[in-house]
């Protein structure tokens, strides 16, 4: 499986001269970020492998399978607000989706999202979130999260969370938590806690849920 560094790492284009000799990389001018779905479609039509989204509208930009084509990276930056719904099951070739800066994403279906910076993610259905830095996540339904560094995660329903580093987790309902974090997790009765830090928890009364 590719790591986030793999798909965020830019690849220099190498071409050859007419005699087959190796030529210096071509320095291509970076494309401006997309703000609308038609702009994304145009980039895809021209063969773009990386789509940067910087959407500043009040209404979230809605992405579906039509935009999440195989073999591309979608990078959501700035203060973008997006809704992402992947109905097709993921494969190794599926689009890699990254949210960073102060972007806010709501994800549905089979979507997997990598969250960095101060990104905020609301995950529903059977979606998956892998979060680092200072990202904040709300996991509901049957969603799954791998959270590390200084992230904060609120987990509800039947969500599953794997916590690492100093990640803060607040869990309720029937959540399953595999706890490796050095930060005590706040949990309610009904949460199942596993992992080497399973005793590093604080039991929270049901009438004192975190906002």
Task: Please give the Cα distance from 54 to 81 (Å, whole number).
Answer: 9
Which tens digit of pLDDT belongs to each residue from 106-121? 999 999 999 999 999 9
Q: For residues 72 and 95, is the Cβ–Cβ distance under 8 A?
A: yes
pTM over 0.85: no
- Cβ within 8 Å of residue 170, ≥6 positions away: 152, 153, 154, 155, 185, 186, 187, 204, 209, 210
Which tens digit of pLDDT belongs to each residue from 72-114? 999 999 999 999 999 999 999 999 999 999 999 999 999 999 9
pLDDT of res. 207:
65
pLDDT of res. 91:
96
């Amino acid at each position: 499986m590719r790591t986030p560094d793999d798909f965020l790492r830019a690849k220099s284009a190498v071409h050859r001269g007419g005699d087959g000799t190796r030529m210096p990389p071509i320095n291509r001018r970076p494309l401006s970020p997309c703000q609308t779905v038609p702009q994304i479609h145009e980039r895809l039509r021209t063969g773009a492998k990386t789509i940067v989204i910087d959407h500043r509208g009040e209404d979230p930009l809605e992405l579906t399978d039509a935009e999440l084509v195989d073999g591309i990276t979608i990078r959501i930056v700035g203060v973008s607000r997006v809704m992402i719904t992947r109905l097709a099951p993921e494969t190794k070739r599926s689009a890699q989706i990254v949210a960073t800066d102060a972007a806010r994403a709501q994800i549905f279906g089979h979507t997997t999202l990598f969250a960095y910076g101060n990104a905020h993610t609301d995950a529903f259905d059977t979606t998956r979130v892998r979060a680092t830095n200072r990202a904040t996540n709300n996991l509901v339904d049957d969603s799954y999260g791998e959270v590390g560094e200084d992230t904060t995660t609120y987990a509800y329903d039947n969500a599953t969370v794997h916590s690492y580093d100093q990640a803060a987790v607040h869990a309720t309902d029937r959540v399953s938590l595999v706890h490796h974090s050095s930060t005590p997790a706040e949990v309610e009765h009904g949460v199942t806690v596993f992992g080497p830090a399973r005793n590093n928890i604080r039991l929270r009364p049901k009438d004192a849920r975190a906002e």
